Structure 1
């Protein structure tokens, strides 16, 4: 939503809106000229000089006072995706979708294109670490967008190139079944403009099934991954090694071998880079420039984002909120720490917690110490018997290494008490767990200072 607002403001539109509380995003939009109210109320519809078009996201409930008032007044109400699709008009569009990796892949593609001297418009579900924003109105003809499959709204887009990172059961609260979820991706193929291409991860079974369907429909397919056929147009992952806190990636493209050093760890990030590379080539950018751009990619906020170090403990934050994402990121985190790995995980949505508690437990068991918070409800009402305890109970680690901490405010103290010098702590989830990292650092520093004070006192000569 904030990305759409940024692009509209850059194009000269009058923009107003509301949010539940102040934030860095709200302050940034106000600085650009938007009128943003804190709190939802029908009166917020009167912030503009004339009758507004009201743009809503799937997170807005039907009883939201602004939405109710908009319908009562007969105002035009459009979904977020419809507004984004309108902004794409006249542009050559690249959409990145999939169950996991959308934000990172979209961000990599954007940065790589910028390095090639292009100025794409972009709308990403996270802020680029270097630019500090997730949206931009560019002067070029290209529009790069993260396409949200969670509510089927990606079916409103008509891309020239579509990247599908993977297809795995998720968002069943909306789609109803795993088959219906997969069908939505098949329907997305029909949205490709004539002559467009699908960029697909060959290593993912769901994405590969989609690629086969696309080829049967006469759509051009470019594959990437370890198992991608060594054919013209594909990118084969030939090597992956740790390189400091990042990774060294080997790949074969058009019968030539290349190497690129990424600033982020994890083979899943290497695959995302290959997907971005192929999409960039489809958009007309040179492979050499794209590879240089990928090497300079500094990450996205909330994607294994380094928050700081205190008392010898490194603290990171990550958005992972699906079992596969959690497992992939914990494996990547393990690569960059010589000490223990501690994770504080906040389940997102009651429905997802109920459906995947066992899988979450299996993924979290990759850490050495696990702290599970209570569920971040987001748009859902509580479900009887569903809490973070379901996830904690599913973690197959010794009981003293799994901690269910339903009181959010107690988590920093618990984490700081568990952590030792050399450890890596990662806060993880799609909710407000993200703000805990700085508090963990404060608590670690306080404990270190207290310990130093004790050591000083105990070291004084007896009187």
Structure 2
């Protein structure tokens, strides 16, 4: 069942032969563009104002035609389809023009499903949350088999998309490639293997656990093999559903004694995680990564299990991850240290991810832990306010930023109050919880976030919104020179 060298060019579906992608900078869209370009498609698309210039150069270097202004004339009859991320709000002249021309308009999930179905053998990573680490590890685990990939988060030193030279395509189907103000973006696709990381509520994609189980069972039923990362009750329920009647082969991975691939030990040295796993035959293998935390060790175990379920050699898989996976930028990574206060960046969005990152951050400091959260979407923040509060209670001090949303007007009650109340109820003193909002009389964000921090303390900036993405360097500047204005371009 191991991968084979590809002897012919990749066959792409006609809709993806010359697609136009709206918002190439959105999570998942750049990975899709890079994969399609490498597979021989004529890819073009737009980026928003102030897009990351490094990303634009990366796309153009791969042969993607990038335009900076989203105007109707960008889309023409020479395009095979228009693909959009689902994270776009406001007027969409490019999509409107595509419809006028009669072009297929595809969501990101639909385009991803078409690419997976066209690949000789698809390997998909799905779940209510936490798909990124396992998905990003699989190309390293299967690199010796020439796998291609389409990822929502690019591994350090790697691109988010690559066509590869073998018959395997790894695709991250995680819901966080879209906004949490949009309806669920999910398209069924057939795969050789499906790896599932979590099954729980994640509004609006999965309104509750049962909805998540229904979606994930529907996906996995059409896979040949299913690998389940058993870390919560939802995943055990999914395992029961899949084994209660005939269906795909099921492989379990986790810490439980009866797991097919078992996480035996996880040690953090201060710079590296040393993860010992047991394979199908009872042999032990050690994998070394740069990512701290039990949750990343579980993701490593799941990726190892998926590779073995595809028939790969255990020693080659362990060696491939250790040698070629260098972490994920922004996934609990160090931004820097000033005056012995360290700032970390976390791209966690779901409460379970936030709790896991804050638990791991506790291993890195004996001082005060400050969590700064830019919540993701009014729908998710409102629906999971209590769970967010429980997760944030793992910190000593909490700063809540305005909710990140692409919507310009929102007719709902500001959910920050509910999150603050839940955080207080979970044990953080109310005086240590700040809901910061911009205004002419408000203290600066940098001063608010760093207030009270000192040598040995740790600040974790959590979120993927515009404010959180650029906040780390600004905090370090303020800590180093608190009386000096932070440069506007930092």
- Scaled to the shorter chain, the TM-score interval is 0.7 to 0.9
Aligned to 2:68: 38
Q: Report if aligned partners of 1:8, 1:15 keep a CA contact under 8 Å in 2.
A: yes
Q: Which digits, 9 at most, give the CA deviation of each residue in 1:115-164, with x for residues without a partner?
A: xx232110111111122x21111111111111134765444321111111
CA distance in 2, matches of 1:30, 1:198: 36
Distance 1:178 1:211, change over 3 A: closer
CA distance in 2, matches of 1:420, 1:14: 53
Aligned to 1:93: 122
Distance 1:149 1:239, change over 3 A: same
Q: Greater Rg, structure 1 or structure 2?
A: 1
Q: Which of 287, 310, 319 does residue 260 from structure 1 map onto? A: 287
CA distance in 1, matches of 2:257, 2:168: 27
User: After TM superposition, which residue ranges in structure 1, 4 or more long, deviate above 4 angstroms?
Assistant: 149-154, 174-177
TM-score w.r.t. structure 1 length?
A: 0.88
List aligned pairs for 1:162-241, cutoff 5 A: 162-171=194-203, 173-192=204-223, 196-215=224-243, 216-229=245-258, 234-241=260-267
State the Cα distance separating 1:381 from its structure 2 match: 4.4
Distance 1:359 1:26, change over 3 A: same
Q: Report if aligned partners of 2:128, 2:174 keep a CA contact under 8 Å in 1.
A: no
State the Cα distance separating 1:330 from its structure 2 match: 0.1
CA distance in 1, matches of 2:297, 2:346: 17
Residue 277 (structure 1) aligned with residue 304 (structure 2): yes
CA distance in 2, matches of 1:249, 1:428: 25
Q: Report if aligned partners of 2:34, 2:160 keep a CA contact under 8 Å in 1.
A: no
**Aligned to 1:3, what secondary structure does the other structure show?**
helix
List aligned pairs for 1:291-302, cutoff 5 A: 291-296=318-323, 297-302=325-330
Q: Which is further off, 20-29 or 327-336?
A: 20-29
Q: Which digits, 9 at most, give the CA deviation of each residue in 1:202-236, with x for residues without a partner?
A: 33211121122222233211111111515xxx111
State the Cα distance separating 1:440 from its structure 2 match: 1.2
Q: Report if aligned partners of 1:155, 1:191 keep a CA contact under 8 Å in 2.
A: no
Q: Which digits, 9 at most, give the CA deviation of each residue in 1:252-302, with x for residues without a partner?
A: 222223333332111111110110001111222211111122333321122
Residue 389 (structure 1) aligned with residue 417 (structure 2): yes
Residue 161 (structure 1) aligned with residue 187 (structure 2): no
List aligned pairs for 1:302-313, cutoff 5 A: 302-313=330-341
Q: Which runs of 5+ in 1 are unaligned?
A: 451-463
CA distance in 1, matches of 2:412, 2:115: 42
CA distance in 2, matches of 1:322, 1:268: 13
CA distance in 1, matches of 2:271, 2:437: 32
Aligned to 1:111: 140
Distance 1:108 1:271, change over 3 A: same
**Aligned to 2:450, what secondary structure does the other structure show?**
helix
List aligned pairs for 1:321-360, cutoff 5 A: 321-360=349-388
Aligned to 2:162: 136
Aligned to 2:343: 315
CA distance in 2, matches of 1:256, 1:379: 52
Distance 1:422 1:142, change over 3 A: same
Question: How many pairs does the alignment contain?
Answer: 438
State the Cα distance separating 1:32 from its structure 2 match: 3.0
Q: Which digits, 9 at most, give the CA deviation of each residue in 1:297-332, with x for residues without a partner?
A: 321122112212222122111111111111111000
Q: Report if aligned partners of 2:147, 2:166 keep a CA contact under 8 Å in 1.
A: yes
Q: Report if aligned partners of 1:342, 1:369 keep a CA contact under 8 Å in 2.
A: yes
**Aligned to 1:160, what secondary structure does the other structure show?**
strand
State the Cα distance separating 1:25 from its structure 2 match: 2.0
CA distance in 2, matches of 1:241, 1:305: 18
Q: Report if aligned partners of 1:158, 1:191 keep a CA contact under 8 Å in 2.
A: yes
Distance 1:246 1:401, change over 3 A: farther
Aligned to 2:276: 250
**Aligned to 2:134, what secondary structure does the other structure show?**
helix
Distance 1:379 1:36, change over 3 A: farther
Q: Report if aligned partners of 2:47, 2:66 keep a CA contact under 8 Å in 1.
A: yes
CA distance in 1, matches of 2:350, 2:113: 27
CA distance in 2, matches of 1:390, 1:27: 42
State the Cα distance separating 1:174 from its structure 2 match: 4.3
Q: Report if aligned partners of 2:274, 2:289 keep a CA contact under 8 Å in 1.
A: yes
CA distance in 2, matches of 1:226, 1:174: 28
Q: Report if aligned partners of 1:373, 1:407 keep a CA contact under 8 Å in 2.
A: no
Aligned to 2:15: none
| RMSD after superposition | 2.4
CA distance in 2, matches of 1:58, 1:416: 35
Aligned to 2:14: none
Q: Report if aligned partners of 1:250, 1:258 keep a CA contact under 8 Å in 2.
A: yes
TM-score w.r.t. structure 2 length?
A: 0.83
Aligned to 1:84: 112
Distance 1:314 1:62, change over 3 A: closer
Q: Which of 420, 426, 445 does residue 480 from structure 2 map onto? A: 445
CA distance in 2, matches of 1:279, 1:362: 32
